[in-house]
Structure 1
Amino acid sequence: MTTLDHVRPAPAPVRMTGRQRLLLVLLLGAQFTLAVDFSILGVALPVIGGGLGFSLAHLQWIVTAFALSAAGFTLLFGRVADLFGRRRLFLAGMALLGLSSLAGGLATSPSVLLAARVAQGLATAAVTPAGLALLTTSFPEGPLRARALGLNGALMSAGFTSGAILGGLLTDLLSWRWAFFVNVPVALAVLVAAPFLIAESRPARRARLDAPGAVTVTVGLLALVYGLTAAGERGWTSPVALGSLALGAVMLVAFWFVETRAAAPLVPVRILRRPTVVWGNLAGLIAFLTETSLVFLMTLYLQKVLGYSALATGLAFGVLGAGTVVGGVAGARVVGRLGTRVSLVTGFAIQATATLALVALGDDRGWLPLLLVATFVGGVGNMVAIVAFMITATGGLPDEEQGLATGLATMTQQVGITMGIPVMSAVVTARMAGQGVTVLDAVATATAANAAVVLAGAVLAALLLPRGRA
């Protein structure tokens, strides 16, 4: 037996060091705060409109301004993090989040508030991929990274679902302004602690930023997100919606051709051809699209059919948030035992079954237990799928490309969140156009469509994703 026979790769560590635990708490706290910002103002929109003089037609821009900048610049900032330093971009983004949140809380006019929301979206676009890249590069590929990504996914999903609860409580007990102010101490705490826990990471030789690629993908994503938002507000036949979606499609196709010819592409085409990146991100898109739009559908059911208040509705979604936490904590173990593909299929199958059960909901409050149980179980399945998606989409790539991989995954998440409500709103609207159709009937139809999309995700994952284990 030769010496080489004894050489084996060192096993991946399975226990976190004390420093890694502190780093994880810091990064997860930042990501949770950003996830809360997606939904914290939803309940408070009418109050904000009355306080600052927003017209009813312009209220949606409080949400749209954030979504546009958050989704449109994520991929660009993910690559900037790789080239110029992830810690540097992470800290700059947290500083911008703190300043923009303070400005939003102090706003006395619609223009200042909207500018603050744009800045919050830019901060999210910078911090989310940089923070995820710091997380994936701080934990080696294997059980530790899977566990960290599972906790990250759980807290992000819980942040999104609990944002409505927190927004309602802050608005009722204090003021809508505290929905902004709550970010300031979190940003300050992160800015103080991060330099002691996070090491800088950037390449020894800095490549040039692909300006044509950056322009085409950013304009394409902005147009796509704006088109989806416009479709939700004005209908899918609206010239504004169709024109924006068409422009987005053209620019994203142009981006592909730019990248095939660029000397230092923003997104190397070889990465976009990896099955794990392509089909993993498609699965992630389906996971975020379906769960966030299900929250919208169940909000309609709870408020329009059962007559619950906005605050009571937000509290009901706390059960869904608990399910996502359970799924996130268990997700790493599930992936470690079953592999990423089987975990994705299993998570989607659980989510689809639970969502389909919601089609049976009736028009009295006796059906509330079914809603709570089904959303909890569906949340568990959805989060297992999201953990598997994150591991699939970021696995097998070198550390110097983790910002790009997490930027793609974050872009997928934010576009999915933006797409879900307009798509399911269109189904509800189309169903309501029929004579004698109630809100309950329309919600049931859209919920069945939601379950069908999840089931399609399970089938695609089973057929197209390569076998893999965490």
Structure 2
Amino acid sequence: MTQHLDKELTRDEPSPRPTPPAAGAPVILSRRDRLVLFVLCAAQFMIALDFSVLNVALPRLGTDLGLGQAELQWAVTAFALPSGGFLLLFGRMGDLYGRRKLFLAGLALFGAASVLTTFAWDPASFLAGRALQGVGAAAIVPTGMSLLTTTFPEGPLRDRALGINGTLLSLGFTVGMVLGGVLTDTLGWRSTMALLALFAVVVLPLAPSLLSESRRPERPRLDVPGAVTVTGGLLAVIYALSTAADRGFGGTDVIVALVAGVVLLAAFAVVESRTAEPLISLPMLKRRTVAWGNLGGLVTFAMMSTVVFAMTLYFQEVLELSAFQTGLVFGFQGTAAAVSGAFVPKVLGRLGARSTLVASLVVQGLSVAGLLVIGTESWSVWPAALCLALACVCNLGAIVAYGLTVTSGVPDEEQGLATGLVTSTQQVGITVGIPLLGVVATTTTDRLSGVHTVLAIDAAIVLLTAGLVAVGLGRDRTAAAG
């Protein structure tokens, strides 16, 4: 019986879908559904954790491994380059050759790379491990999202699944900041990488028996020219923006990388318009939900990462809080996001994904604007914590809503393309926000003035985007049915 069940769960056909609940019926996940959701969300949480858990540990890591101040950025960039650059390629490969296969391969590679970084003996071995972690993440994120959206059908089930996933994504980034400080102070920087390896060790044995294969029924050829140009273009742009965050936009390598990235991405657009089996379907990009939904996602990720960066400077350099105290403030923010995750599906059901996206952007922008009241007084930490918590809750709502907006109505065979765009937007958003606005906070002589300027620009961009998305998407016809 067990062998028969394993065969049924791993056969090469679309993932089995839970039965959608009747209209008005409560959303109830079966035991197997909950286990599938645990595996997929735990993997996404692990990747979100990796984005922030190492940040606080960088100074000690540099001293231990002999990385100079100018080289420390590569601890982050070595991960960001492949994790963002290969997302679209791996999302498409999952569509064509099997999402489950690529998801499992990514998990195995990420776990092995985390072990390598934990026991790294010099800068080269550490950076190699970080790069391999990035490659593993690029395979895990789009295939994991595709498996989630193809397993749970549109409607309340998918709303709840994406709500839980979005909560863990938002929480993972914040928890990483808190855990990074605690682990580094108590067990050393290597424990932050060991934590990631532990996640992989827990998730990987469960995944094969729970996840069934999902891919396109036909086997078209991979769009190699498109893969080369989009991957090269994303790598170049992410390198330029990551480097600019540390050294500014004036460096020759930054300028060359930006120009090369733009040229390659333009070439990619030309290639996709002429190939029979494109890596990205241009008609998909013409969908209002895909175009405007991704714009909302790009802005919410970019601007929230900028707020976190600016407020980290504010807490530590203006209010002179310790790294641990700063982590506790952000921990309050993360707790608020975790609690609100239970209510996001209800809001989505009442308002619909598009209206929820617009409303979340509006309140996120107003919350960031509320941070303009902070000053040098110690009491400023309280309004700052409250505004950050509200902004984080709305950021979570926007993350879930834009994912639903972009993937709704997309056929299963193209879910890898859609979720590849969703996750690429996420990665690019996290990458571009700090270089574009964070430099204002770091180069202004008066740190408080610089932080205020960043927050004002940030709030204006989010509110403007909310207006554009509202007009671009039009009336949400799914609200009544949700």
Query: So what's the TM-score if we normalise by structure 1?
Result: 0.95
Matched residue, 1:270:
283
- What's the CA shift for 1:112? 0.4
Please state if 1:86 is matched with 2:99. Answer: yes
1:287-436 alignment runs, 5 A limit: 287-429=300-442, 432=444
Contact 2:314 2:448 in 1 (8 A): yes
Matched residue, 1:456:
464
Please state if 1:97 is matched with 2:110. Answer: yes
Pairing partner for 1:443 from 448, 451, 454:
451
User: How far apart in 2 are the matches of 1:243 and 1:327?
Assistant: 43
- What's the CA shift for 1:109? 0.3
- What's the CA shift for 1:339? 1.6
User: How far apart in 2 are the matches of 1:328 and 1:262?
Assistant: 42
User: How far apart in 2 are the matches of 1:24 and 1:166?
Assistant: 24
Matched residue, 1:5:
none
RMSD: 1.5
User: How far apart in 1 are the matches of 2:367 and 2:456?
Assistant: 11
Unmatched 5+ stretches in structure 2: 1-19
Matched residue, 2:6:
none
Q: Percent identity among equivalent residues?
A: 49
Contact 1:68 1:222 in 2 (8 A): yes
Q: How many residues align?
A: 457
Contact 1:340 1:467 in 2 (8 A): no
- What's the CA shift for 1:230? 2.3
Matched residue, 1:69:
82
- What's the CA shift for 1:340? 1.9
User: How far apart in 2 are the matches of 1:243 and 1:324?
Assistant: 39
User: How far apart in 1 are the matches of 2:416 and 2:177?
Assistant: 30
Letter in 2 for 1:427: V
Q: For residues 255-289 of structure 1, what are the alpha-carbon distances to aligned partners after superposition, in whole Å with 9 as ceiling and x for unaligned?
A: 11101111111111111111111111111000100
Contact 1:53 1:109 in 2 (8 A): yes
> Which consecutive segments of 4 or more residues in structure 1 shift more than 4 A?
9-13
Matched residue, 1:111:
124
Larger displacement relative to structure 2 (170-179 or 97-106) = 170-179
Larger displacement relative to structure 2 (239-248 or 377-386) = 239-248
Q: For residues 38-62 of structure 1, what are the alpha-carbon distances to aligned partners after superposition, in whole Å with 9 as ceiling and x for unaligned?
A: 1111000000000000011101100
- What's the CA shift for 1:359? 0.8
Matched residue, 2:232:
219
User: How far apart in 2 are the matches of 1:326 and 1:267?
Assistant: 36
Letter in 1 for 2:450: A
1:18-97 alignment runs, 5 A limit: 18-97=31-110
Q: For residues 149-195 of structure 1, what are the alpha-carbon distances to aligned partners after superposition, in whole Å with 9 as ceiling and x for unaligned?
A: 11101101110111111111111111211111112232122221111
SS of the equivalent of 2:56 reads coil
- What's the CA shift for 1:429? 4.5
Contact 1:106 1:177 in 2 (8 A): yes
User: How far apart in 2 are the matches of 1:398 and 1:120?
Assistant: 30
User: How far apart in 1 are the matches of 2:407 and 2:78?
Assistant: 28
User: How far apart in 1 are the matches of 2:406 and 2:237?
Assistant: 22
Please state if 1:210 is matched with 2:223. Answer: yes
Change (3 A) 1:327 1:242: farther
Q: For residues 50-101 of structure 1, what are the alpha-carbon distances to aligned partners after superposition, in whole Å with 9 as ceiling and x for unaligned?
A: 0000011101100011111111001111111111111111100000011000
- What's the CA shift for 1:357? 0.8
SS of the equivalent of 1:206 reads coil
- What's the CA shift for 1:10? 8.8
Pairing partner for 1:130 from 143, 148, 168:
143
User: How far apart in 2 are the matches of 1:30 and 1:445?
Assistant: 36
Contact 1:297 1:443 in 2 (8 A): yes
Pairing partner for 2:159 from 128, 146, 151:
146
User: How far apart in 2 are the matches of 1:467 and 1:126?
Assistant: 35
SS of the equivalent of 1:266 reads coil
User: How far apart in 1 are the matches of 2:92 and 2:339?
Assistant: 32
User: How far apart in 1 are the matches of 2:317 and 2:41?
Assistant: 35
Q: For residues 314-365 of structure 1, what are the alpha-carbon distances to aligned partners after superposition, in whole Å with 9 as ceiling and x for unaligned?
A: 1210122123223433222212111222111110111111111111101021
Letter in 2 for 1:204: P
User: How far apart in 2 are the matches of 1:323 and 1:10?
Assistant: 29
Q: For residues 226-250 of structure 1, what are the alpha-carbon distances to aligned partners after superposition, in whole Å with 9 as ceiling and x for unaligned?
A: 1112222222333322221121111
Pairing partner for 2:266 from 253, 256, 262:
253
Matched residue, 1:159:
172
Contact 1:353 1:451 in 2 (8 A): yes
Contact 1:339 1:467 in 2 (8 A): no
